[in-house]
Chain A
Amino acid sequence: MSGPDLRAVTLVEAVNLALHWEMAHDENVVVLGEDIATNGGVFRATVGLKEAFGYKRVMDTPLAENLIAGTAIGMATQGLRPVAEFQFMGFIYAGMEQIVSHAARMRNRTRGRLHCPLVYRAPFGGGIHAPEHHSESTEALFAHIPGLRVVIPSSPQRAYGLLLAAIRNPDPVLFLEPKRIYRAVTQQVDNNGEALPLDTCFTLREGEDVTLITWGACVLETLQAADRLAAQGITCEVIDVATVSPLDRDTLLCSVAKTGRAVIVHEACRNGGVGAEVAASIAEGAFLDLQAPVVRVTGYDTVMPYYRNEQAYLPQVGDIVEAVEQVIAL
């Protein structure tokens, strides 16, 4: 055995690494999307795949998201494991009928005769001064759909391990990549092909006073807020939900039972967001453990502003600190 193949990579490089690994180890894995083959993807997530695995398995598609979503379904029913890229989440809606009415239902409606082992990847979220329609976070739309997993990594290591798990999963996974942190952090990733578990929250930091529940790019601000609060003597348990559907309620409830307080942080707008499901779950399962109301720190219930105002929309470290101080004071 050789030693670990450690690489210092960013989140988007970890995505690329996982795709390379899985394509090399499973010939059924194919990749398709707009500009993903020769160009290597607009964020370079698929760079080098065409050169390594050929155009037959790494396919530039016509510019039609509905087609991409549905073609991946057809491929998956015949035993391939397609990884289809939506160039930005803002353009996923054309493919929504395929995702909701077919990918998420195929196994159920054929009673297991056919199924869809596929991954839809999409960069999402704000914070990179992108044009209109390039910055939304609408994971809640998809978390509502039975039969579909929604997975969001928040670090290079989790991007690598969770993407491998998503590709190997026998059911459809929407894999949303927070592009604000595509290159924000570099982390050592062991390129060993080991997947991380789906349907499981990751407790990033243990604490006693309050549980901070978040996912995606907001994990960074939440950890920074926890640092700042630690200086004030407040210890935060920080949980990266990672799989926002189906939700690992047990981990969340155990943590809240310990801390008695919960602050939920997400970038998506508040109304009907995944945070509402988390809060309702805590109200149903840990009400008597609560010492303060559950508080949400989220984006505003408005259209994602153009980039001059996007920081005013996005949850900031100070917002999280303030919310924690508010629940601690009760």
Chain B
Amino acid sequence: MRQRHEFHVDSVRYLDEHGHPLDDLPSQASDTERVLAAYRNMVLTRTFDAKAIALQRTGKCGTYPSALGHEVIGTAIGQALAASDVFVPYYRDQATHLLRGVTLQEMLLYWGGDERGSAWQACPQDLPVAVPIATQCCHAVGVASAFRIRGEARAVLCCVGDGGTSKGDFLESLNLAGAWHLPVVFVAINNQWAISTPRRLQTGAETIAQKAIGAGLPGHVVDGNDYFASVDVLDAALARAHAGKGATLIEAVTYRLGDHTTADDATRYRDAEELRRAWDRDGVKRLRLWLHDQGLWNADLEQQWQAECKERVEQAVNAYLATEPEPATAMLDSLFETLPAALAGQRERLASRSGGGES
């Protein structure tokens, strides 16, 4: 028998659980400003996350999906993307959104039931949060196609969860990215749980990264709690996309340290010991320990930055809570560019009723 094809999937990791290098660090580690900015963003994300959950618990925010455990890979993505690239998120990408310029107040508005929370000012071409699982993958290849058609050296980065990799949208999009040689990077954020369904029930494949092989793409596994490994793999994949060399799939392995959303209770299906072990691998702590070892961070700086984050989040919460709801007529005003005559009567009715808010 003749061997037709063989493939390999590499796995990238630089730091152990104590922040000690396992190998020579990639060149990104020497850019201390970038590393410090990354760490600060992780702490800000975590501070925001805790506050958003608290707001939901006290009836001041709607159902909210915690990003706990996603801060490292999310931050690495935000740093790797160029401003002119397009980010296509799913719904646990708060760390990335912050680096794209989405404001804390906008994120609160979105999860607090206000469409203006997706009217992002800073990154107008990024796609909004995608709640229907994996559907955003198809948009990502469409955006990448637009860049290719216009001959623009821009790239697209699309996030999807491990559960999302079971959907046709993900596989169809990978397939098109290979067939059309598109400038897109897919990051499957494998946090081990799709609500209550563990990763092993999503696929019999040993890795998610190897799904790339069938689409004719390279696939890499990266420790998504290892900042240096994440930026290294992401920078390479985006450089490849920018150079017109095609798409990449990255499986970023992490752990969902929180519930699926505030409407979920993971203690119903998840072992406490597994969760404890996952906290040992926490990537935020890991980077903090490395920064300490390098003399770039200390307890005072930590305290100052924590206070700064709390202050920023408090300000955003106050602004969010002080934001009046849109007039009810807004539900029709953005449906089409111009309201069809057929809907004029319905708009009049909304405007005339209490809460119509017509001034």
Contact = CB atoms under 8 A, between A and B. Distances in A.
Given A71-B141, A71-B142, A73-B139, A62 B179 contact: yes
A70 B138 contact: yes
Give the size category of B's interface with A: 35 or more
The interface centre, meaning the residue of B115, B138, B140, B175 with most chain A CB atoms within 10 A of its CB, is B138
Contacts of A97: 132, 135
A77 B158 CA distance: 15
A74 B138 contact: yes
A165 B117 CA distance: 32
Given A67-B138, A113-B119, A147-B336, A77 B149 contact: no
Interface residues of A, number: 47
Interface in B150-167: none
Given A74-B140, A80-B146, A146-B335, A109 B135 contact: no
Given A66-B168, A110-B128, A147-B335, A76 B142 contact: yes
A110 B340 contact: no
Contacts of B124: 113-114
A247 interface: yes
A98 interface: yes
B342 A199 contact: yes
A86 to B, nearest CB: 14
A108 B341 contact: no
Contact of B119 (A75, A79, A110): A110
A102 interface: yes
A112 B332 CA distance: 12
B176 A78 contact: no
Nearest to A105: B335
Given A109-B118, A249-B342, A71 B138 contact: yes
A110 B110 CA distance: 10
B144 interface: yes
B244 to A, nearest CB: 14
B118 A67 contact: no
A108 B179 CA distance: 32
Contacts of A171: 336-337
B116 interface: yes
A101 interface: yes
A69 B138 CA distance: 8
Which of A57, A75, A80, A199 is the most central at the interface, judged by chain B CB atoms within 10 Å of its CB?
A75
A80 B86 CA distance: 15
A56 interface: yes
Contacts of A113: 118-120, 124, 128
A176 to B, nearest CB: 18
A7 to B, nearest CB: 29
A115 B144 contact: no
Nearest to A146: B335
A62 B175 contact: yes
Nearest to A246: B342
B173 to A, nearest CB: 7
Contact of A112 (B119, B149, B168): B119
B168 A57 contact: no
Contacts of B86: 78
A107 to B, nearest CB: 6
Nearest to B340: A246
26 contacts: A56-B148, A56-B149, A59-B145, A62-B172, A66-B168, A70-B137, A70-B169, A74-B145, A75-B143, A78-B125, A78-B146, A94-B168, A98-B138, A102-B132, A107-B334, A107-B336, A108-B331, A108-B334, A111-B330, A112-B119, A113-B128, A114-B127, A147-B335, A170-B337, A171-B337, A248-B341
Given A67-B169, A102-B132, A102-B139, 5 more contacts: A64-B172, A73-B139, A74-B127, A114-B127, A199-B341
